[in-house]
């Protein structure tokens, strides 16, 4: 449809009223500042990212350097998080573990969101037997508990961080697929989409201007929530010996190594990586809830 000025006029999807680009980022930041808990979560996650990125610059100690003479030392100026049973610096290992956990979590949500989002989009748009086939495949994957499926993939392909990340990714794909497919079906049946179809709009035009703007916020929220789970799942695999292998300093493996010393007073070996997991997972979940509110123009943030 063409308006009086000669520009194309079209119905707008519910989420298209949100600002995009730099202005959209400012919008979300302003909305987040209204909630102290969301701000604190963002700062906690930012702190962990800074530790992972800048830690090796300011603390050049090797995470795998063994010094038996300095074994099981309590936190001090020379070892801010103490040392483990081999005299390795726990802070250096914590920094390396942060790099591994955050990087793997980011990679898992990007790949999982891409594949799951594509499957859900195709199922919702194509419909018919193709929708049934794709969704029953996703249901078959969902029949397995996500962590058990990740463990099975890791055992089948060989233990390690790469196979662990692959298993977590495969387990997360159905989450995105079902959420996106549900959103596509909902938007596809809205009156303004039916009006566009009646007006002769092509499927590509409807997909670009109606479906995608409604799906992307949902996909972002799901990815933010899955980020925390990915970090915890990787730590769980490391905890049971299926993820990072010796001497890789991954948080889950560090907790396993430190458990035997906690009861004898050397609490710092597993407490610090445990706190890293706690802050990362909690911050990711709080940020996901904040994204849900900030990206919903019908919510409280619509007044920002």
Average pLDDT on 79-92 reads 93
Give residue 294's pLDDT.
67
Average pLDDT on 223-236 reads 90
State pLDDT tens for residues 62-80.
999 999 998 999 999 999 9
Q: Residue 137: pLDDT above 90?
A: yes
Whether 20 is in a domain gets the answer no
Kind plus residue range of the DSSP H or E element containing 226: helix 212-239
Whether 142 is in a domain gets the answer yes
3-state DSSP assignment of residue 79: coil
Whether 272 is in a domain gets the answer yes
Q: Residue 90: pLDDT above 90?
A: yes
Q: Residue 220: pLDDT above 50?
A: yes
Let me know how long the chain is.
304
Whether 18 is in a domain gets the answer no
Residue with tokens 């596509």: 184
**Closest C-alpha among 251, 104, 99 to residue 164:** 104
Cβ–Cβ < 8 Å for 234, 104? yes
Confidence class for position 5, pLDDT limits 50, 70, 90? very low
Give residue 29's pLDDT.
60
Q: Higher-confidence residue: 4 or 77?
A: 77
Give residue 74's pLDDT.
93
Whether 17 is in a domain gets the answer no
Whether 53 is in a domain gets the answer no
Q: Angle formed by the axes of helices 161-188 and 90-126, to 10°?
A: 30
**Domain limits for position 249:** 84-280
3-state DSSP assignment of residue 89: strand
- Degrees to nearest 5, angle at CA 102 with 99 and 107: 115
| DSSP for residue 82 | -
Cβ–Cβ < 8 Å for 298, 214? no
Q: Residue 299: pLDDT above 60?
A: no
Average pLDDT on 89-95 reads 94
Q: Residue 298: pLDDT above 70?
A: no
Whether 75 is in a domain gets the answer no
**Cα–Cα distance for residue pair 161/242, rounded to 1 Å:** 8
Average pLDDT on 253-271 reads 89
Whether 180 is in a domain gets the answer yes
Q: What percent of the chain lies above the pLDDT cut of 90? A: 42
Give residue 248's pLDDT.
87
Number of domains in the chain: 1
Confidence class for position 32, pLDDT limits 50, 70, 90? low
CA distances from 279 to 11, 252, 291 (A): 42, 14, 18
CATH number at residue 184: 1.10.3720.10
């Amino acid at each position: 449809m063409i308006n009086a000025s000669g520009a194309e006029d079209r119905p707008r999807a519910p989420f298209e009223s949100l600002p995009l680009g730099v202005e959209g980022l400012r919008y979300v930041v302003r909305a987040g500042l209204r909630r102290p808990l969301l701000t604190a979560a963002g700062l906690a996650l930012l702190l962990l990212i800074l530790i992972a990125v800048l830690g090796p610059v300011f603390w050049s100690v090797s995470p795998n350097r063994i010094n038996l003479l300095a074994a099981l030392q309590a936190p001090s100026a020379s070892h801010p998080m103490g040392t483990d049973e081999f005299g390795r610096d726990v802070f250096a290992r914590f920094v390396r573990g942060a790099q591994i956990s955050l990087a793997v979590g980011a990679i898992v949500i990007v790949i999982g969101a891409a594949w799951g989002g594509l499957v859900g989009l195709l199922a919702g748009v194509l419909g018919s037997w193709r929708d049934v086939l794709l969704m029953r495949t996703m249901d078959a994957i969902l029949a397995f508990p996500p962590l058990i499926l990740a463990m099975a993939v890791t055992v089948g392909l060989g233990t390690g961080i790469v196979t662990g990340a692959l298993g977590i990714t495969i387990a997360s794909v159905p989450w995105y697929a079902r959420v996106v497919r549900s959103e596509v079906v909902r938007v596809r049946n809205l009156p303004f989409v039916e009006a566009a179809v009646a007006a002769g709009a092509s499927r590509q035009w409807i997909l670009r201007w109606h479906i995608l703007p409604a799906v992307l916020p949902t996909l972002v929220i799901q990815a933010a929530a899955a980020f925390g789970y990915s970090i915890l799942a990787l730590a769980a695999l490391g905890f049971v010996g299926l993820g990072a292998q010796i001497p890789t300093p991954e948080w889950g493996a560090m907790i396993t190594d430190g458990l035997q010393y906690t009861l004898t007073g050397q609490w710092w070996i597993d407490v610090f990586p445990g706190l890293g997991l706690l802050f990362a997972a909690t911050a990711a979940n709080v940020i996901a809830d904040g994204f849900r509110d900030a990206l919903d123009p019908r919510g409280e943030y619509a007044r920002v």
